[in-house]
Each structure stands twice: as C-alpha cells, then as structure tokens.
Structure 1
Amino acid sequence: MIHVAVLLTVFNRREKTLSCLERLFSQDRPSVRLTVHLLDDGSTDETSSAVHERFPEVVVLQGDGGCYWNGGMRRAWEDAVELQPDFFLWLNDDTELDADALTKLLRTSAFFADQAIVVGSTRDAQTGGLTYGGVVRPYPLKPLYFERVTPSDRPGSAETMNGNCVLIPGAVAKAVGNLSHEFSHGMGDFDYGLRARQEGFEIWVAPGFVGTCSRNQEAGTWQDRTLPRRVRWQKIRSIKGLPPREWIQFARRHAGLFWPLHWVAPYARVLVSPQRRTK
C-alpha cells in the first residue's frame, strides 16, 4: 500500500476547498492510502467545520491568518512528516483533479524510480489552455524569468514548478527538507524546485493534464499597469507581491553573480513604467 500525504493551505474558499477534496477522494487509487493535512489559515466562512462534517478523515490544522501559502504548507508538511509517507502531494484547493490524476503522477514517478519530483499541469476549465505546472528558464541572461512547460504525451523536463499539484517522493523530501521558512506566500514553490535540482534531483512534468485550475488574474496586482504607480508600489512590496526581504533571498540564491541587478529590476519597472490609461 502506497501512502500519499496530501498537503493543502486554505483560506475563505469553502466551496472550492470542498470541491477539491471531493475530487481528491474520488481518485482512481487502487493500493493507495491518502492522508490529508489541511491548514486553515483563519478562515471566517466556516471552512474548517464544513471539512470536518464532509470529510472527517482530514486532519485540519488551524492558522492565525498569518501563515499564507508557504507558511501553511510548511505547517501541513510538519504534521505529515511524522507519518513517514512514501510521497507528499502539494495541492491547491482551487485545483480540481481529473479522475486519473494520482495514477498519472505515481506512474510517472515510478518511471524515474521515485527519485524525481513530478509536476502535474493544470488547464483552464473554459479554454483548456495551460495555467500552471512545470517551468524553465529559457534565457541564461534572465535567470529569474520563467516560462511554463507545455505538457505532451511523455514526461517533460522542468527546472522548477508552480505548487498547484506536485508529487514529491519521500527520498527527495528527506534530502531537500521542508519549504523554506524565508518565504511567506509566493516564491517558496520555485525555491523548493531549484534547491532540489541543486541537490541532484530532477523535475519532470507528467504527461498531459491532471486537472483544472483557473489562472490568477493580473488585475488588481502590482503587475496591473492600469493602477496608479503608488498603488503598484505598495502592492509589489506586500506579502502577496515581491516583499523585498524575501525577494532578495530568492535572487541571491538563484540569480547568480549579478543577482542585485535582477533583484532590483521589478521594482525599477514599477517606478518607471507609466500608468496605462483605460478607455
């Protein structure tokens, strides 16, 4: 029996969380035992009680609203590692898995002797286009620029990944450890994949898609050029943007000798780019 520990962080998306769990437990999974470790980061929409009622087997951990994605996943991981599972599965609660997703991920992992991280690609429910999955850095002079890997009918190599659906074998987890405590929300998933490669592990994108997940929109974020510059400046320095102390850690680790230039680049773009006028 293969034991897969599923890790989630959720906040005020009760219906999405319940739908995600419903699809997870509906997986075709012969000879697979799932344990689910869910960090509810202070939801006010009764997410925890709804999960307890619908899925009493799920371990629900409580956050105080300050965990965010990376911190919440760290807490869930700490809880799951005590069980010494064969695999850890990162899963976003806005990801709805296809019925064969887990089988596809485990089959791909077995092809690489369970010594590689396997990434599941997600598609937009309306257009079918790629939304999240594995990524590569196609330009040597732009080490912090990432492009998504389009899945095909065979595994594809990646350099790191979005954390929406990621299968990590126990051997990889033991060597690389938990997500870094230096990140609050974003960057933790990309950092983990890059650190795993530094430890000598490969990252492979599973064939095809494993489910649906709508892509986060740029509207209202620091990348939204219709917003006033001062608003974009506030947003880029927030936890859900590129908080300077965290972004500097990421750049120092992964951008090479000229990391200060790559670190400052997004802040400079916000300061110099004019506001785009809407019609």
Structure 2
Amino acid sequence: MKQANLAVIMTCFNRRNTTLACLNALYQQKNHCDVYLTDDGSSDGTTEAVKAEYPEVKILQGNGNLFWVGGMHLAFGEAIKHQYDYYLWLNDDTFLEANAVSKLLQTHQSLAEQGYPESIVVGSTKDSITGKATYGGAVKSKKWYSNKFEFLEPSSAIQKCDAMYGNCVLIPKSVVAKVGNIDTAFVHSLGDLDYALRAGKLGCKVWVAPGYIGTCTKNSIRNSWADTNLNILERLKKVLHIKGFPLKSWTVFCSRHSGSFWIFYWFLPYVRAVVGYKDLATSPTFSEDISQTNSEV
C-alpha cells in the first residue's frame, strides 16, 4: 500500500495540555500527515505552545464563537483546497494508540478492494481507566423513535453502521467530493451525525474499524440538560443552548433526517428536558443526546 496523502482536521479551545498530548500521540504514528488545527480564540496559550512544539501544524484562528462544528468546518475547508487522498477528523481529547492511523487506512483499503471505495471509516475509543467503550460508530435503533442512534461496540471485524461520533473519523477524497464539508447549519453538535447521514443518502457507506484506535473519556451529563439534579428552568435553558439542541439547528436536522413526521421528533428533547430523562444518566449510549458527544470546544 503506497503512502497516503493525509490531512488531519482538528479544533481546540482552552485545553493546551490536552491538545499537546493529542498531537504528541498523533506524531508517534508511522504515517506522515499535515495537521490543520483551528484554535477558536484560546486564552491559555494553546496557539503559542503548538507553534513552539509543532511548528509544522497549520493553525487557523477562530473568533471564539465557532465551537466544534465551526472550528472543524474551517480547518476541513482549508485542507480540502489541497486535495488530499484522505482526511482524518480527530478530537483533541482523543489519544491514538500506535499504528491507529495505519489501521484506519488499511480498513479503507480492504473495503475498497471489496467494492466499497466511497466509505467512511470510524475509529472506536475507550476510557483510559475503565477500558469501557466511549465513542465510535452508531446504528439506527430499531425501536419506534427514528432519531435514536445507539453506539456500536467494535469487534474483531469491520462492521457497517449508520452514523458516527466525530472523535476519530477517516474520510477518503471520493466521499468528500460527494458530501463536501461539515454543514455550518449546526454549531457544536449534530454536525458529525448529519455528515454521516448525508453521506449515506449519497450512496456512501459508513463502517467501524476493528478494535479500538485509542482512548477518549466520555463527556459527563452533569450540569447538562439531561442532569435531573437541575431544576426544570435550568434544564430548559441548557437544552436550548448551543451545546444542547438550539432551535434552528435541531429544526434543520429533524426536517432533513426524520421523515414526514419530523415535527413530532423535534419536540422530544424539549419535552424530556422538562420531565427529566434519567435513561441518559445510566445508559452507555446516548439516543438523541448527540450534543454530549463532541469535544468541549
């Protein structure tokens, strides 16, 4: 397999040491890559530290209001201009194991040989302490709630899935040619899920690579709209926040992906914020709570 021309897409905000640790693990990989990193207005010296330790990183500056989707859109868009063979989305709190990138590239090569060149390959992560699965691919629930996507536990084989958490995702240029960039109709959440669903509608496939590619701690629901320790008013404010289900973004997502009865599904997170959604506190998977999956940027 020839050396792939690879761009790594990242965004960060005010967690300098975490970002540096992520880059350190990335540069331990055997595969050469160009890194495009959006720093969305960090005040903790992230940009200066990255420039000092990794001067080859291409840093783009945000205004502090880009959040995850906006930051990734900016970096991804810049990389797309240079027409790489592959693009790797990587959250800055995801720490790759040795040969993780090679594993993802080999998985795509295997899929291409099987007749699926237009395939997104998702890397699964686990908690560094407990070893429990955290992020990766997701499959659409067979239950009645059409917006529910459940985490797909990785196995020793390549598995087909419907959607993905955007922590570590390999996208070949053939998919980018069809789907384009992350949609800025979203701000912090839902952009990764939307990308996978749009890709599927355009004939592309989404697959989970075998095993785990690294570690990433799952974001806590504490102090979020799903935290039943908060009062109803606080939960309502948080569910409407950028990191929850802001009205405009959630309307776009539901009308785009939830079928003729999308308005019914549109109401659910707001209703659950009022009545409480205890399932989210105990379940290892998050149904429509995709807002908790993306990096806190």
Secondary structure in structure 2 of the residue aligned to 1:130: coil
Q: Which letter does structure 1 place at the counterpart of 2:184?
A: H
SS of 1:206 mapped into structure 2: strand
Match of 1:209 in 2: 212
Structure-to-structure mapping, 1:86-235, within 5 angstroms: 86-113=85-112, 114-139=117-142, 141-235=144-238
1:77 aligns with 2:79: no
Counterpart code for 1:128? G
* 2:256 counterpart of 1:253: yes
Q: Is the 8 A contact 2:226 2:277 kept in 1?
A: no
The equivalent residue for 1:237 is 240
CA contact (8 A) 1:108 1:118 kept: yes
Contact 1:92 1:165 in 2 (8 A): yes
Amino acid across the alignment from 1:192: Y
Take 2:276 and 2:227, find their aligned partners in 1: how far apart are those partners? 11
Task: Please state how far the C-alpha of 1:151 moved relative to its aligned partner.
Answer: 0.3
- Given the alignment, which residue of 11, 15, 23 partners 1:21? 23
Q: How does 1:50-69 map to 2 (within 5 A)?
A: 50-69=49-68
Alpha-carbon distance change, 273 to 122 in structure 1, aligned in 2, over 3 angstroms: closer
d(CA) in 2 for partners of 1:12, 1:91 = 16
Shift of 1:249: 0.6
Relative to structure 1, the CA distance from residue 39 to residue 197 in structure 2 (aligned partners, 3 Å threshold; closer, same or farther) is: same
Measure the CA separation in 1 of the matches of 2:123 and 2:204.
17
Cα deviation digits, residues 163-221 of structure 1 (max 9, x gap)? 00000000000111001120011000000000000000110000000000000000010
Structure 2: where are the runs of 5+ without partners?
279-297
Instruction: Report the TM-score when normalising by structure 1.
Output: 0.95
- Cα contact 1:229–1:274 (8 A) shared by 2: no
Which residue identity is paired with 1:256?
G
Q: Give the length in aligned residue pairs.
A: 272
Q: Please tell me whether the aligned partners of residues 172 and 201 of structure 1 are also in contact (alpha carbons under 8 angstroms).
A: yes
Deviation string, structure 1 residues 65-114 (Cα, Å, up to 9, x no partner): 00000001010011111211000000000000001100110000001114
**Cα distance per residue 1:215-246 (max 9 Å; x no partner):** 00000100101001100100000000100111
Instruction: Kindly provide the amino acid, as one letter, of the partner of residue 164 in structure 1.
Output: N
Q: CA deviation at 1:271?
A: 2.1
* Displacement after TM superposition at 1:140 (Å): 5.0
Q: Distance in 2 between matches of 1:231 and 1:254?
A: 28
Distance in 1, Cα, partners of 2:251 & 2:143: 19
Counterparts of 2:276 and 2:133, CA distance in 1: 28
SS in 2 for 1:195: helix
1-side partners of 2:218 and 2:12: how far apart?
A: 17
What does 1:35-46 align with in structure 2 at a 5 Å threshold? 35-46=34-45
Secondary structure at 1:132 match in 2: coil
Q: Deviations over 1:226-271 (max 9, x none)?
A: 0011001000000001001110111111111111010001101222
Question: TM-score normalized by structure 2?
Answer: 0.90
Select between 257-266 and 189-198 the one with higher mean Cα deviation.
257-266
Uncovered stretches (5+) of structure 1, i.e. residues with no partner: none
